[in-house]
Amino acid sequence: MGISGLQSIMEDKNIDFSLFYSSGPVPNPNVVYFSGYKGTGILVVPRKRKPFLIAPKMEFERAKKSMVKNVSSMEKKRFFDSVRETIAKSGIKAKNIGIDKSSFTLNAYSNFKKQFKKIKAKDIAVDCLKLREIKTGEEIKLLKKSCRYADKILQNLIKNFKGFRKESEAAAFLEYETKKKGLELSFSPIVASGSNGSMPHHEPSGQKIKKGFCVIDFGVKHKNYCSDITRTIYVGKPSKPEKEIYSKLLAIQNDAINQAGLNKKCSELYDFAVKSLGKYSKNFTHGLGHGVGVEIHEMPNLTLNSKDKIRDNMVFTIEPGVYFPGKLGIRIEDTVLFRGKPIALTKTSKDLLII
């Protein structure tokens, strides 16, 4: 795993060094995973030597606090130039270079090629995702703690929910509690009441919280590791059919978690949820889940066409939902660790909470 896992892939693929470019505003997740550094810069991982990091002058101090010991500073325009010089000085071959073609932009690549004219760039995007897909013991500890924080903050929100008038106030509370603890958000929290709930990625508005189902989707980052949980509560008095559909979705969510077994195809888990939804399957408009790590969405993908299989030490979400445009939405989501069996890391009660 980590750097040594990457180096062994590089061995197999005959890659001389791998290069990851974080050009901002969002840090390159591979740079975060391999080095812990979150600023702008380039991380170089040679096949047989220690990695080095090149950061702009203004980030130099911050870069030195990363897991990489060999850090130099350089102006951004000369990043690739500096990589070439350092590589040449160390006598490292520069024939086959591994890059992540899913994050490398066309313009960055053209700058890179100016310094490395004769190289062959091999795509290691999927290799890195595959490496990150299986978590180490240390990562699992961080993910568990991240989920505990998310549970705690979410429960605190629910306890105080009556005091919020607007979706944006409830979302602001989630963020405040997150930041106060020195944590980061995994993503901008979703608080989607009433008909807004039918947009899975609704942005909390300044509108009053509407009666009916209210979808709350939230997660924090603890030391770079994400958590992800969704609970749907009810504001007002649910009708019998509303209670029934909630119960149905909850049963499917629990069943889907329990269906996760070693080497099970992720597409089968997705199919299971779709089939269980019966006439509501057309109201389920997204995947069943996704891996969680330094990124909120990573491998495995629990979707229709996924080729992924469940393996030991994967961490992923199970989050079926149903959406009725202009009317309502319900989603229930846990972050789940698979280790011999599925273990939900998020533990907030899933009974329909009526407020």
Return residues touching its own copies (CB under 8 A). Answer: 24-26, 38-39, 56-62, 77, 99, 101-110, 123, 125, 166, 168-169, 171-173, 175-182, 184, 187-188, 198-206, 285-286, 295-297, 305, 323, 325
The neighbouring-strand residues paired with 70 are 52
Helices 125-133, 2-13: axis angle to 10 degrees equals 140
Count other C-beta atoms under 10 Å from residue 101's C-beta: 14
Q: State the nearest-atom distance from the C-beta of 174 to its own copies, in Å.
A: 8
Q: State the nearest-atom distance from the C-beta of 209 to its own copies, in Å.
A: 13
Q: State the nearest-atom distance from the C-beta of 334 to its own copies, in Å.
A: 19
- The nearer residue to its own copies, 29 or 342, going by C-beta atoms, is 29
Q: Is-contact 329 321, C-beta < 8 A?
A: yes
- The nearer residue to its own copies, 25 or 241, going by C-beta atoms, is 25
* 354: CB partners within 8 A, 6+ apart: 233, 234, 236, 237, 238
Burial class, 148, CB count within 10 angstroms (exposed 0-12 / middle 13-18 / buried 19+): middle
Residues in the chain: 355
Amino acid at 20: F
- The nearer residue to its own copies, 26 or 354, going by C-beta atoms, is 26
Q: State the nearest-atom distance from the C-beta of 333 to its own copies, in Å.
A: 14
Count other C-beta atoms under 10 Å from residue 159's C-beta: 9
- The nearer residue to its own copies, 41 or 342, going by C-beta atoms, is 41
Burial class, 282, CB count within 10 angstroms (exposed 0-12 / middle 13-18 / buried 19+): exposed
Q: State the nearest-atom distance from the C-beta of 256 to its own copies, in Å.
A: 18
- The nearer residue to its own copies, 93 or 101, going by C-beta atoms, is 101
Integer Rg of the chain from CA: 22
- The nearer residue to its own copies, 38 or 135, going by C-beta atoms, is 38
Q: State the nearest-atom distance from the C-beta of 75 to its own copies, in Å.
A: 8
